[in-house]
């Protein structure tokens, strides 16, 4: 019998499940761990890690026999929950845009969201990164009656760990970044309407990343990180000046490597804010995204800890004056961190393991 089966984005070694796995390994014990992997030869998993491909009979049998399921995504097709099984749903971000059941009227098939309620009822624990998100979860995951663990996100422990500087140096070296180069990480969210109506291959970048990289010059490196739902289908060659790191297993390493983050409505903003480094927002479709596509849980324009840039020229101007931007947004950045990042003290994984994994030994 497998004690713990993990699923991070249906096949990656990343995110909250990875951090919990690492904490359990740190504590020792004769536990059997099995990871959902997108490929049987997945190289990103540590040596000796047992992996299995989702959708196979072996995966179904392993999941059915597990004591604990640790996942950051829904597992509608891959799990029949039996008595005695514990499902720890870690989720994967603080929400600016509406999620789960709260998003039901935006799409053409609201009845599908009623079926999702059955998924939420299977969860025994749900990790929350902050009090703000805990309040959202009650409506977004209608039917969930388990325990919300307001612990902070385990995946972000590394951003406050004593090893963060060493990890930063290692990742920058692995990516071929030279000393003194400024790393700009661009991580846009996905667009639901394109994905659901036209498929993942319909995703197109609104930002001319090649031109941004050219105008930044050789003293900058532009890293492109696409959302996992569209990364493979939307991947293409952006030239030598842009490094596509969408396939990089865990974005937390990229946060440490970066000096600046450009995003839009992604939950990456909340994680990156832990680093205290500058945040810029390329929000060319703000009104449409907010009012027609997803809807927001708070006044983003009032709270954003960095400038909202509506076109490439505004974005490049902000990048040219990062020191000034940091001064101008210092108070708002501090308030943002206090509201959304106060639990990210580097010990979230400890708190979750202490509460949930009481029967393993």
Residue whose C-alpha is closest to residue 264's, from 234, 293, 221: 293
Predicted pLDDT of residue 303: 98
Q: Note the pTM of the prediction, 2 decimals.
A: 0.92
Q: Is 191 exposed, middle or buried (0-12, 13-18, 19+ CB in 10 A)?
A: buried
Pick the closest to residue 71 from 84, 81, 57, 58 (CA basis).
81
pLDDT at position 196: 45
How do residues 305-330 score in pLDDT, each as one tens digit?
999 999 999 999 999 999 999 999 99
* 331 has a pLDDT exceeding 60: yes
Please provide the average confidence, as pLDDT, over all residues in the chain. 89
The predicted structure's pLDDT at residue 312 = 96
Question: In the beta sheet, which residues pair with residue 8?
Answer: 12
Q: Mean per-residue pLDDT for 191-195?
A: 53
Domains of the chain and any CATH numbers: 4-156+346-356 (3.40.50.11820), 162-340 (3.40.50.12580)
Per-residue pLDDT tens over the stretch 7-64: 999 899 999 999 999 999 999 888 899 999 987 667 788 888 999 998 888 888 998 9
The mean per-residue pLDDT over the stretch 203-212 comes to 86
pLDDT band (50, 70, 90) for residue 199: low
Cβ-contact 210, 239 below 8 angstroms: yes
Distance CA 302, CA 62 (A): 47
- At 90 the three-state DSSP class reads coil
Beta bridge partner(s), residue 323 = none
Model pLDDT for residues 96-107, shown as the tens digit of each residue: 999 988 887 665
């Amino acid at each position: 019998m497998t004690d713990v089966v993990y699923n991070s984005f249906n096949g990656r070694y990343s995110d909250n499940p990875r951090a919990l796995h690492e904490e359990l390994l740190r504590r020792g014990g004769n536990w059997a761990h099995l990871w959902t992997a997108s490929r049987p030869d997945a190289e990103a998993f540590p040596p000796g890690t047992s992996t299995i491909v989702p959708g196979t009979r072996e995966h179904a049998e392993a999941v059915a026999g597990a004591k604990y399921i640790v996942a950051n995504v829904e597992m509608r097709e891959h799990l029949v929950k039996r008595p005695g099984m514990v499902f720890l749903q870690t989720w994967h971000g603080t929400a600016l845009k509406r999620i789960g059941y709260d998003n039901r009227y935006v799409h053409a098939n609201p009845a599908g969201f009623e079926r999702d309620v059955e998924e939420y009822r299977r969860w025994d624990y749900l990790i929350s990164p902050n009090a703000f998100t805990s309040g959202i979860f009650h409506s977004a995951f209608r039917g969930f009656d388990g325990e919300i663990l307001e612990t902070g996100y385990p995946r972000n422990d590394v951003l406050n760990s004593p090893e963060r500087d060493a990890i930063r140096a290692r990742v920058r070296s692995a990516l071929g970044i030279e000393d003194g180069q400024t790393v700009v990480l661009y991580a846009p969210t996905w667009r639901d309407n394109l994905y659901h109506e036209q498929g993942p291959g319909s995703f197109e970048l609104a930002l001319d990343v090649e031109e941004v990289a050219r105008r930044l010059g050789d003293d900058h490196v532009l890293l492109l990180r696409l959302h996992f739902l569209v990364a493979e289908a939307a991947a293409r060659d952006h030239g030598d000046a842009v490094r596509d790191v969408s396939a990089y297993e865990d974005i937390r390493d990229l946060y440490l490597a970066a000096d600046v983050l450009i995003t839009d409505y992604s939950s990456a903003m909340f994680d990156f804010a832990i680093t205290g480094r500058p945040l810029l927002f390329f929000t060319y479709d703000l009104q449409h995204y907010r009012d027609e596509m997803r809807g927001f849980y708070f006044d983003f324009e009032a709270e954003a800890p960095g400038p909202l840039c509506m076109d490439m020229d505004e974005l490049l101007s902000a990048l040219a004056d990062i020191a000034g931007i940091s001064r101008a947004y210092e108070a708002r950045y501090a308030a943002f961190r206090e509201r959304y990042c106060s639990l990210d003290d580097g010990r979230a994984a400890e708190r979750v393991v202490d509460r949930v994994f009481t029967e393993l030994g």
